[in-house]
């Protein structure tokens, strides 16, 4: 089956409504980080505090996501995502209110953390749904699941293009607070819809069964570190972009410029389905991270928005191939009853990396300007290349080892 035919088959199995809802439900997370950064930094005049609040949101989300994933493995996604969507939307509204009321910095950072803690990781949870969705496709299932992960990688990156763009437009047309309220509304509507959609697991699993099998392995640790470093790229690049745009007198443009990273990444993510299967996942990850390092170097030379836009766009072309490889390796080596947990752990690592990148880059930018923030991006990709290159043999061996039995008894999904 060709990649195009596989994409068509996936969307037929899931249904158009599910694909649209699952995409829109992941936008609030992509919007909230930049929205918080802009809201707090413009209200207080401190990039450091803005980065701290955005970082607190990301760290809290990273801490809460694995617990939510573990609950989803045991209880199904429906109730877990429903509670998160409502609580996350309320928390974002509360954050905007506190900032406009001039609340103490500690309270602002605390509510930002609460918003992150309660916000669902829709992308990782959507990945988990593809196996039951494709459960009746027989021998085609392995290929369809791989294609689904390529799509999800592209969808995640598209969300991180559209999300910041929506924040940028909201800042320009309304205000930073209005932009963040839009994120809250999207989460309340589409997060709830995603939770209640028929593809969500509703049946409870026995706790011992849901936690059967080892989750933490050397390979998963490598993948978590890889995602931590790519998250650092996101945080540092977004902060550097915001500082440069603000210095240029156009802070609302930051979201639109950063969106080009997600756009390039989304296009590259769709294209990964056309990579020949004979090229191993570990080699794909190595190639992608080498490209990330090379493409991040021009950020050190930019001196204005016209030069920044193409630099960020080209950098994005290597992001999705890297992340798709990481998530696909995890899906193949983790026992099936722990997949939701593993996916959210990887997403958590990305969030922690974002927090690290935005916090460090924000402090450096306060002292030395946007170039110092972009230096954090380059440093993170240098470490990522060393990590992946040193782990090639271990990754190859893990992928060559017969995986755990995937076809466990489960209720078929009606879509």
Read off the pLDDT of each residue in 136-158 and give the average, rounded to a whole number. Answer: 77
Contact call for residues 370 and 55 (beta carbons, < 8 A): no
Among residues 28, 1, 76, the alpha carbon closest in space to that of 413 is found at 76
pLDDT at 91: 93
- Once rounded to an integer, what is the mean pLDDT over residues 36-63? 82
Most confidently modeled of 64-68, 201-205, 222-226, 404-408? 222-226
Lowest mean pLDDT among 3-17, 24-38, 380-394: 3-17
Please count the residues of the chain: 415
User: Does the reported pTM lie above 0.85?
Assistant: no
Helix axes 218-247, 305-316, angle to 10 degrees: 160
The residue written with tokens 């390796």 in the block is: 329
CA nearest to 32, candidates 114, 152, 124, 154:
114
Classified as helix, coil or strand, 101 is coil
pLDDT tops 60 at residue 2: yes
CA distance 261 to 399: 30
Q: Give the mean pLDDT of the chain.
A: 82
Per CATH, the number for 3-400 is 1.20.1250.20
Residue 252 in this model has a pLDDT that exceeds 70:
no
pLDDT of residue 203: 43
Mean pLDDT of 391-414: 62
pLDDT of residue 406 exceeding 60, the answer is no
Average pLDDT over residues 2-16: 79
- pLDDT for the residue 340: 73
Distances (CA, A) of 67 to 40, 203, 335: 28, 18, 17
Extents of the domains making up the chain: 3-400
Lowest pLDDT segment from 6-15, 313-322, 371-380:
6-15
What average pLDDT does this structure show over 204-218?
57
């Amino acid at each position: 089956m060709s990649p195009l035919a596989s994409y068509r088959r996936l969307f037929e199995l899931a249904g158009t409504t599910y694909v649209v809802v699952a995409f829109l439900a992941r936008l609030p997370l992509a919007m909230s980080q930049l929205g918080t950064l802009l809201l707090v930094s413009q209200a207080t005049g401190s990039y450091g505090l803005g980065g701290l609040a955005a970082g607190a949101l990301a760290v809290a989300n990273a801490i809460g996501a694995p617990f939510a994933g573990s609950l989803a493995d045991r209880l199904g996604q429906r109730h877990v995502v429903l509670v998160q969507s409502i609580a996350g939307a309320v928390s974002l509204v509360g954050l905007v209110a506190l900032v406009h009321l001039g609340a103490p910095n500690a309270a602002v950072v605390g509510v930002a953390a609460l918003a992150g803690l309660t916000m669902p990781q829709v992308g990782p949870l959507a990945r988990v749904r593809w196996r039951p969705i494709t459960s009746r496709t027989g021998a085609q299932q392995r290929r369809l699941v791989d294609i689904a992960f390529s799509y999800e990688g592209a969808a995640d990156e598209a969300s991180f293009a559209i999300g910041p763009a929506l924040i940028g437009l909201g800042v320009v047309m309304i205000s930073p607070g209005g932009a963040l309220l839009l994120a809250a509304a999207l989460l309340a509507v589409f997060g709830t819809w995603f939770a209640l959609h028929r593809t969500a697991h509703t049946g409870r699993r026995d706790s011992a069964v849901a936690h059967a099998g080892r989750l933490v392995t050397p390979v998963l640790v490598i993948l978590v570190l890889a995602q931590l470093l790519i998250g650092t790229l996101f945080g540092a690049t977004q902060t550097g972009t915001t500082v440069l745009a603000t210095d240029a007198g156009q802070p609302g443009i930051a979201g639109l410029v950063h969106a080009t990273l997600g756009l390039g990444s989304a296009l590259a993510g769709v294209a990964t389905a056309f990579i020949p299967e004979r090229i191993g996942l570990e080699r794909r990850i190595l190639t992608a991270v080498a490209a990330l390092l090379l493409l991040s170097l021009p950020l050190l030379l930019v001196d204005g928005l016209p030069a920044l836009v193409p630099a960020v766009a080209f950098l994005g072309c290597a992001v999705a191939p890297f992340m798709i490889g990481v998530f696909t390796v995890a899906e193949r080596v983790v026992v099936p009853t722990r997949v939701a947990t593993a996916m959210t752990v990887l997403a958590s690592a990305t969030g922690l990396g974002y927090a690290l990148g935005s916090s460090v880059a924000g402090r450096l930018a306060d002292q030395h300007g946007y170039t110092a923030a972009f230096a954090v991006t380059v440093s993170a990709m240098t470490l990522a290349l060393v990590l992946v290159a040193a782990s090639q043999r271990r990754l190859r061996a893990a992928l060559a080892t017969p995986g755990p039995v995937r076809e466990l008894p489960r209720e078929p999904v009606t879509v």
